[in-house]
Amino acid sequence: MKYATPAPASVSLADPVLAPRVEANRTATIPACLKHFEKEHCIDALKLKWKKGDKWYPHIFWDSDVAKVVEGMARELARRPDPALAKELDRVAKLIVSAQQPDGYLNTHFTLVEPEKRWTNLHDWHELYCAGHLMEAAAAHFEATGERFFLDAMRRYADLIAKTFGRRRGQKRGYPGHEEIELALCRLARATGERKYLDLAHYFVDERGRAPNYYVEKEGWQSWRLEYLQAHKPPREQREAVGHAVRWAYLCCGMVDAGDAKPDVGLLEAAVAMWKNATKRRMLVTGGIGTARDGEAFERDFKLDNLTAYAESCAAIGLALLSRRLHDLTGGARGIDVFERALYNGIPSGVSLSGDRFFYQNPLASNADSPYARERQAWFYCSCCPTNFARFWPQAAQLCWALAPGEVRLCIPAASELKLDNGLRIVVEGKYPYDGAVKIRFAKGAAAAAVPFALSLRIPDWCETFSVAVNGKRAAAKAKDGWVSLKRAWKPGDEVALDLAMPVRVLRANDSVAADAGCIALQRGPLVYALESVDNGPGLHRLSIPAKQDFKLVAAKGLPRGTVAIAGTAFETTRPGEELYSDAAPRTRRRRFVAIPYALWQNRGPAEMQVWTREA
C-alpha cells in the first residue's frame, strides 16, 4: 500500500458528527452488544454449556458477532486507556480461547450441536466466515494489549484450516460461502509475520469459482445460484458487482489485501473494476449498496429503487473500507470520495444517535406501507450489523488521515488532532461537515524544529470552488487528481486555512434510474438530505420542490445542537373529493419544506422519510 492509517493513539476527533458517534459506540453500542450476548446465551455457548434439550442452541454465526465486538473493544482500548474495558476484553477473549478444541478448531455450534457436520456445508454454514472474524479480533487484541494468547490460538486454528483446505491429496478444494477469512488471513499474516497465511488467503480467492465448481460438484448447489456467492467464475475474471453485497465487499477487500501483500496485478485490477461498476452504476446516493431485499444483493445496473432499497448497514461499512483500501493502494481521491459518502450517510443512518438502536436495512424512502420498520430495533436475530458498528467507529479518527513517507494526507477535514512521530501535532478545527471553513494548525509536540513534508488536502468531488491560505497568505493552489499538496518545512505556529464552498446542490439521477425519474435530491457538502414527516407532516409523496430557489440553512429541531437543516419552498398537490378515482383537477399550494441529514432520520420517533422528491 502507498498509504497507511496512523496509530490509534496518535489521532483523536473533536468534530460535531463523528466524535459523538465514536463516544456513543464506547458508552452504549459495545455495552449493549455485550448485554445481548449474555441474554441470548452467546456467552454460555463459549463456556460450552449447551446440552441437548436446552431451549436455546448456539447459532452458526454467533461466534462472528462476539468476535466483531471483541475487535471493537480492542480498537477502542488501543484508542484510549480504559481499565474496565481492558478487564472485560480480557474476560471475553479468554472465554473464546477456552472453547478451542485440541486440534485447533473453534466454532461453538459445530463443537456442541453438530460435530459430525464440520466443514460439510461451506456455502451456507459460515464456519470460515466466523473463523475470519475471530482472526481479526485476535490481531486487534494483540495490537491493543501486546498479549499473544488469543493470537496464538488463532494461529493454531489457521494452521488447521490450512491443513484441511487446499489442492493437495486428501484436502478439500472448498472455499467460504461468506467471504471474510481472505482479508482476515492477510491481517493475521501482518500480526504474526507468517507469510504462509498469505498463501492460504490467495488459495481461498483463487479457488473460488473454478471449474469444476466445488459448490455444484460437492454440495449440490444449482449453478444459477453461484452469482450470489461470487462463485460463478474466478474472481480475477469478474468485472461486475454481483450477489450478496456484504460478501462481495469482503471478497474485494481480501483481493486488495492479498494482491498487495503478495503482489498480484490480476487480482487488483479485478477488484478495481468491480468497485467501479458498483459505485458508478449500482450504488445509492447515500453510499448504500445491495438494493435487493431478496438476498441482500446487487441488482442490475441502475436498478436503484428507494422504498424497497435494502442497503444493509454491513454493506455500507464494507464499501467504505474497500474504498479506503483502494485509496491507500493507488492514492486516488475517488476512493476517499466514496468512503466519505458512506461515512456520513449510509453508515450512520444504521445506528441511532443514542448508539443502542439499529437499522439492518437503510432504504431511501419510508411510509406507512414501507416493507421495512420505520423505527430502529434494539437487536436482531441476525445481529451482524450492530456488532459491525462496534468495530467500525473506533477506526473513524484513523480513517480521516493517511500517511506515506514525506507526506501527510487529510482525507476527511473533520476537527481532529494528529500526533506525528517527528514531534509535531496537526490540529484541525472547524464544524465540518456543516461548514466548509477548516483551519489546520501546527502545534508543538515533543520537538519544535521545522519538519519538511507535504501536507495534502483533498478537494472533494462535490466541491466546485475552494481556496487555500498558508499563514494568512492565499496560496496559488491547484487540485491535481483531487488533492492540493503543500510542500514546505512545517513548524509550530504555522496555519493553513482551507475553505470548501458548500452551497446546496440539487442532484438528479442518471436517466436510466427509473425510480428517480423527474425527482431531485439535495446535498450539501458530503451530506445527503431527506424530508421527514416530523418536519413536514404526513404525505411526503404529495410534495414537489423547485430546483431553482434560494435554499435557506436553518437549525434542525429535535436533533443535536449545530445540526444544519435545509429549508425552502415546496408545492403540495392534492385532489378534492374522497373517490378512489376522479377526473377532478388537482389543487396545488405553495408551502415550506425542511430537510435534515439523511443519516439522522428516525431519531425523533417513527416517521415517513424520502430522499428523492418530485421536481416542481
Q: Domain of 480: which CATH number?
A: 2.60.40.1180
Distances (CA, A) of 381 to 36, 61, 154, 337, 418: 11, 11, 27, 33, 39
Q: Are residues 279 and 385 in the same domain?
A: yes
Reported confidence tier of residue 374, pLDDT bands at 50, 70, 90: confident
Among 362, 397, 432, residue at a domain's last position = 397
Domain for residue 605, yes or no? yes
581 shares a domain with 487: no
Any idea what the CATH number is for the domain that residue 373 is in? Answer: 1.50.10.20
Asked if the structure places residue 540 within a domain, the reply is yes
Q: Which pLDDT band, with edges at 50, 70 and 90, does 368 fall under? A: confident
Same domain, 517 and 483: no
Asked whether residue 343 falls in the same domain as residue 417, the answer is no
248 and 393 inside one domain: yes
**pLDDT level of residue 369 (50, 70, 90 thresholds):** confident
pLDDT score, position 423: 84
Number of domains in the chain: 3
178-212 pLDDT, tens digit per residue, is 999 999 999 999 999 999 999 999 999 999 999 99
pLDDT band, very low/low/confident/very high, at 446 (cuts 50, 70, 90): low
pLDDT digits (tens, 9 = 90+) for 235-283: 999 999 999 999 999 999 999 999 999 999 999 999 999 999 999 999 9
Tell me 426's DSSP state.
E
pLDDT at 449 over 80: no
Domain that holds residue 384: 244-397
Q: For the whole prediction, is pTM greater than 0.85?
A: yes
DSSP per-residue letters across 267-315: HHHHHHHHHHHHHHHSB-TTS-B--BTTTTB--STT---STT---BHHH
Domain boundary among the residues 336, 363, 397 is at 397
Farthest-apart Cα atoms in the chain, separation: 79
The pLDDT score that the predictor gives to residue 448 is: 63
**Strand 564-574 versus strand 552-555 pairing type:** antiparallel
Domain boundary residue, one of 500, 520, 539: 500
